[in-house]
Amino acid sequence: MGIHGNSTCVMNYDEATGYLLGAENKGLAAMFVMMNEARLGVGLQGLSIAEVAYQNAVNYARERIQGRSLSGVKAPDKKADPIIVHPDIRRALLTIKSFTEAGRAFTLWTALKSDIAHRSGDATEKQTADDLLGLATPILKGVLTDKGFDHAVMAQQVFGGHGYIEEHGMSQYVRDARIAMIYEGANGIQALDLVGRKLGANGGRAVMALFKEIGDFCEENRADENLSFFTKSLKKGLNDLQASTMWFMQNAMAKPDNAGAGSTDYMHMFGLVVLGYMWAKMAKAANESLAAGTGDADYFKNKLLTGRFFMEKIMPETALRKIRIEAGADSVMEMAAEAF
């Protein structure tokens, strides 16, 4: 498939001479300073490709006419209605839109943790931010690139057959999105890093801090009628995530394959909860702006609609992920290699 957006080549190091740079046995640690920063950049790449694919799909859906609306003609002056009137097209577009908007918020939230970890003068604040940055890195990289590719394909699908030919350029977005799931640590490794290293790091300090932050947000805003739908949906997702975390603690030590078999589902469940948290925070800000009469009211209303779609249609996936995790590793590991 190639990485056509970059200047790349194959380099052969056979019979080359290697030279030690820096202290012996410290190279891997140095490399991971670069690698962890790169993972955040790759996560942003996955998100960005989803966004540009979405923008193209929206423009096409507004212009392409095909069929009539199920609820009655919407463009009587034309031979057919634009395809954006069809519920399934809207489902696809809102799936991508709700993901990219929350993904941008998650990326900014993570970047802020990095700034605090590097620049805060408060030692406790600095440590907490560094903990959360480490926890967020595999989630951001793995989830945003997995979904970035999925959503590039979804945007391509809006074009129908036109999405598969080169004229509209959608096939290039799909090809370009695919590599982000692999480099800087393939996403299966991100999931294993999350479950195998980040959850238990420092006695689970980071994950407990984030669970508390999200839980406190839900509790503090529970009485807000304008926000209750968001906080209730978020709390359900958080409960699923906490239950799955506890299941790993009870079932993965004696049988590590349980952690490996459920790691990808867990990473995506964690991503759903974090993105849901971003939506709840955005909904709170939108409601406050509407109440104060500041800013563009239509913008904030549409922001709330997009967030409601995420909470109704996407957040419930945490329950499915929980079922998969708790099924364990037996069906995954029982079959002999020769039988595949």
Q: What is the 3-state secondary structure (H, E, C) of the chain?
A: CCCCCCCCCCCCCCCCCCCCCCCCCCHHHHHHHHHHHHHHHHHHHHHHHHHHHHHHHHHHHHHCECCCCCCCCCCCCCCCCEHHHCHHHHHHHHHHHHHHHHHHHHHHHHHHHHHHHHHCCCHHHHHHHHHHHHHHHHHHHHHHHHHHHHHHHHHHHHCHHHHCCCCCCHHHHHHHHHHHHCCCCCHHHHHHHHHHHHCCHHHHHHHHHHHHHHHHHHHHCCCCCCCHHHHHHHHHHHHHHHHHHHHHHHHCCCCHHHHHHHHHHHHHHHHHHHHHHHHHHHHHHHHHHHHHCCCCHHHHHHHHHHHHHHHHHHCCHHHHHHHHHHCCCHHHHCCCHHHC
Residue 23 lies in a domain: no
CA distance 13 to 145: 30
Q: Residue 169 half-sphere exposure, CB side, CA atoms within 13 Å? A: 8
Given 167, 184, 288, 334, the catalytic residue: 184
pLDDT at 28: 82
Q: Give the mean pLDDT per block of 10 residues along the chain (340 residues).
A: 75 93 86 84 96 98 97 96 98 98 98 96 96 97 98 98 93 94 94 95 96 97 95 98 96 93 98 98 98 97 98 98 97 96
pLDDT at 1: 77
Residue 315 lies in a domain: yes
Residue 124 lies in a domain: yes
Contact in structure between 155 and 60 (CB atoms under 8 Å): no
Contact in structure between 117 and 129 (CB atoms under 8 Å): yes
Structure tokens at 186: 């393939």
CA distance 46 to 88: 24
47 shares a domain with 152: yes
Parent domain of 152: 31-185
Contact in structure between 283 and 304 (CB atoms under 8 Å): yes
35 shares a domain with 152: yes
Residue 257 lies in a domain: yes
pLDDT at 35: 83
69 shares a domain with 135: yes
Residue 277 lies in a domain: yes
Domain end call among 134, 157, 185? 185
Structure tokens at 28: 């891997």
66 shares a domain with 157: yes
Beta carbons within 10 angstroms of residue 191's beta carbon: 25
118 shares a domain with 35: yes
125 shares a domain with 160: yes
131 shares a domain with 59: yes
Alpha-carbon distance values, 138 to 55, 263, 291 (Å): 27, 11, 37
Residue 69 lies in a domain: yes
Domain end call among 185, 218, 246? 185
CA distance 272 to 269: 5
Residue 25 lies in a domain: no
303 shares a domain with 248: yes
| Number of folded domains that form the chain | 2
179 shares a domain with 208: no
168 shares a domain with 42: yes
157 shares a domain with 57: yes
Is 219 considered catalytic here?
no
CATH number of the domain enclosing 102:
1.20.140.10
Contact in structure between 237 and 276 (CB atoms under 8 Å): yes
Residue 169, phi-psi category: left (phi > 0), alpha (psi -120 to 50), beta (remainder): left
Residue 263 lies in a domain: yes
As to burial, measured by CB atoms within 10 angstroms (0-12 exposed, 13-18 middle, 19+ buried), residue 196 is middle
Residue 67, phi-psi category: left (phi > 0), alpha (psi -120 to 50), beta (remainder): left
Domain end call among 185, 220, 235? 185
148 shares a domain with 256: no
pLDDT at 5: 65
pLDDT at 328: 97
Contact in structure between 96 and 54 (CB atoms under 8 Å): yes
